[in-house]
């Protein structure tokens, strides 16, 4: 049985080498593509994710509005779906139940206050001014559609796990305010006071905004925040020693 002889390439003749661009173009043509590459599926995925987040936020805001006007127990998922002009299964795509919606409304409001703490940490100013930044964001959150949910959430029938998380986040905010008050007393920008009682007074007055503020009133949430800060700031300024 004879074997086939493999012919060696002729001297001086080598297989042409293609550069990277030529190879890519050749592969595109072989796969039926010409010209521009097809769009990346990962880009489309990111766009879908962004679209989902926008719609989920719309569901949460619609729930907050409904809770503000009708109360938590008097609001159904059908009401929220009707406000968004979608079906109830669509709402279920973004949240598991009404309880989670209330919790998400609380989180949205708390995130605004946390933003105030992040802003305060970035400021190279005395603690009193840092505290003002926190309180301003706090007041805006209370004047937003999430304010009602934030002050009433613990009165509703939530799971023990959610209630525990809510209490922990409220404690986090309270402790953050107390810390800034203590630092202000130490750096001389805040008149000596009881940090715990002062924090309770500040938060209590801000929480009450959610009970009386309505969007159609003459003052905006930002204007109300500035008015409250003026009162707080004047009250916290150090007193000059009385002359004998």
What is the number of other CB atoms lying within 10 angstroms of the CB of residue 102?
Answer: 25
For residues 206 and 200, give the distance between their C-alpha atoms in angstroms, rounded to a whole number.
Answer: 10
Predicted local distance difference test score (pLDDT) of residue 227: 87
Predicted local distance difference test score (pLDDT) of residue 167: 93
Predicted local distance difference test score (pLDDT) of residue 22: 52
Predicted local distance difference test score (pLDDT) of residue 156: 78
Please count the CA atoms within 13 angstroms of the CA of 60 that sit on its side-chain side.
21
Predicted local distance difference test score (pLDDT) of residue 53: 84
For residues 226 and 206, give the distance between their C-alpha atoms in angstroms, rounded to a whole number.
Answer: 12
- Structural domains present in the chain: 97-236 (1.10.357.10)
Predicted local distance difference test score (pLDDT) of residue 52: 79
pLDDT along the chain (244 residues), means of 10: 51 51 47 49 63 87 90 91 91 90 94 94 93 94 92 84 93 97 95 94 92 77 85 75 50
For residues 29 and 65, give the distance between their C-alpha atoms in angstroms, rounded to a whole number.
Answer: 55
The two structure tokens encoding residue 104: 């998400």
């Amino acid at each position: 049985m004879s074997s086939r002889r493999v012919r060696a390439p002729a001297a001086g003749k080598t297989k042409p080498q293609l550069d990277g661009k030529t190879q890519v173009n050749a592969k595109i043509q072989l796969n039926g593509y010409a010209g521009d590459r097809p769009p990346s599926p990962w880009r489309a995925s990111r766009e879908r994710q962004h679209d989902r987040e926008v719609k989920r936020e719309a569901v949460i805001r619609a729930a907050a509005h409904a809770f503000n006007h009708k109360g938590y127990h008097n609001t159904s998922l059908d009401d929220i779906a009707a406000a968004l002009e979608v079906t109830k299964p669509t709402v279920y795509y973004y949240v598991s139940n009404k309880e989670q919606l209330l919790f998400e409304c609380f989180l949205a409001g708390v995130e605004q206050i946390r933003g105030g703490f992040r802003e305060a940490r970035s400021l190279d100013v005395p603690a009193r001014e840092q505290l003002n930044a926190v309180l301003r964001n706090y007041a805006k959150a209370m004047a937003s559609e999430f304010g009602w949910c934030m002050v009433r959430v613990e009165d509703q029938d939530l799971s023990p796990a959610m209630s525990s998380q809510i209490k922990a986040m409220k404690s986090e905010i309270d402790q953050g305010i107390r810390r800034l008050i203590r630092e202000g007393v130490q750096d001389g920008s805040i008149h000596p006071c009881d940090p715990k009682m002062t924090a309770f007074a500040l938060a209590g007055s801000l929480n009450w905004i959610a009970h009386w503020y309505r969007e159609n009133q003459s003052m905006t949430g930002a204007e109300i925040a500035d008015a409250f800060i003026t009162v707080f700031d004047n009250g916290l300024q150090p007193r000059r020693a009385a002359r004998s």
